[in-house]
Amino acid sequence: MAFDPNKIPVALRQAYGARRCAVLVGAGASKGAGLPLWGELLTKMIDSAVAHKLITPEREAEYRDLATRTEKFLMVASGLKDDLRSHFDQFIEETFVAPKPQPTKLHEALVALDKLQFVLTTNYDTLLERSFRRRNDDVSVCNFTDAGEVQRRLSRREFFILKAHGDATKLADKIVLTDVDYRNLLFGQRAYQSMLSTMFTMFTFIFVGASMTDPEISLLLSYIADSFSPNAGPTHYALMADEDVTQVEKDRWFKDFKIQLITVSKQDNYAELTEFLHALGASAAPAAADAPAAH
């Protein structure tokens, strides 16, 4: 099944062509490279805690039960991070760095979108920066602690990648994973709040590989709704599996968060997701004579 380019809204084509577009990349984008989604990550954490004999069989059973329930993900992550203690950094490295995951066709399609203003990712892996640096080894990569640098690049309209929740290769307790971590980041750092508000007010976002049931996405959307009126600023777009959403959900995402859902098929490991990115890039072809993006 091929993605129908006519499903791309005119407003999105225009925003991309005018370089007012950004992509938010979630865990689903790294799934094809063999990296875990939320439930799989928690299972790996439980396995690690068991291997290091840090939890009892009773606690293990409770964790495994809770890890099947999306609404309990952050609670389980908090408990396991505490249980793993000094082993946590090692776990992150073994999960996201040691396997040496390779960029996929989806990452290549993202790199081909040369009119993006920036890419924001909640992922810890290095697939995005490695992909973009194949094109330009000077691509700037910022962390959630670099609010000043991000604001500077936004004002100068220079392309960058923002690792919103940390980097598996630069740990030192800078991985945002638990409920407390997310809330401290979203509600406790005013510079970060201002930065996110600016991003979502000024630029059209495309959510790629970001499940709307993932806790970090839910918290981010809640923050956005609290920080300014969803009626202000541009419409954002989320690529979702057609099999997973109802019309009621589509209506709520738009009315509550001003996010319009664009559906794709799950067939062939979400091949339509990559096709969508190619189609979006091709939609701006007539503007190819514009000045090159600052990648």
Which residue ranges make up each domain of the chain?
5-34+104-283, 38-96
Helix, strand, coil percent content, the chain, rounded in steps of 5: 55, 15, 30
Q: Tell me, what's the pLDDT at 295?
A: 45
Q: Which of 41, 160, 37, 141 is nearest to 94 (CA)?
A: 41
- Helices and strands in the chain: count of H runs, count of E runs: 14, 7
- For 280, counting Cβ atoms within 10 Å of its Cβ (0-12 exposed, 13-18 middle, 19+ buried), the class is buried
Which tokens hold the place of 3? 């993605």
Flag the least confident range among 55-64, 178-187, 227-236, 242-251.
227-236
Cβ count near 51 (within 10 Å):
9
- Ranges assigned E (strand) in the chain: 21-25, 116-121, 140-143, 160-163, 204-208, 236-241, 259-264
- Tokens 């700037």 locate to 140
Q: Tell me, what's the pLDDT at 242?
A: 83
- For residue 2, the surrounding DSSP H or E stretch is none
Q: Tell me, what's the pLDDT at 172?
A: 59
Q: Tell me, what's the pLDDT at 292?
A: 41
Say if CB 219 and CB 252 are below 8 A apart. no
What is the pLDDT of the chain when averaged over all its residues? 88
pLDDT > 70? residue 181: yes
pLDDT > 80? residue 232: no
**Residue 11 CA from chain centroid, whole number:** 22
Per residue in 89-119, pLDDT tens? Answer: 999 999 999 999 999 999 999 999 999 999 9
- What is the fold, at CATH topology level, of the domain defined by 5-34+104-283? Rossmann fold (3.40.50)
Q: Tell me, what's the pLDDT at 293?
A: 46
Three-class secondary structure of residue 12 per DSSP: helix
Q: Indicate yes or no: pTM above 0.75.
A: yes
Three-class secondary structure of residue 293 per DSSP: coil
Q: Tell me, what's the pLDDT at 216?
A: 82
pLDDT > 70? residue 284: yes
Q: Tell me, what's the pLDDT at 28?
A: 92
Q: Tell me, what's the pLDDT at 25?
A: 96
Q: Residue 109 and residue 123: Cα distance in Å, rounded?
A: 18
Say if CB 90 and CB 186 are below 8 A apart. no
Most confident of 71-80, 191-200, 204-213: 71-80
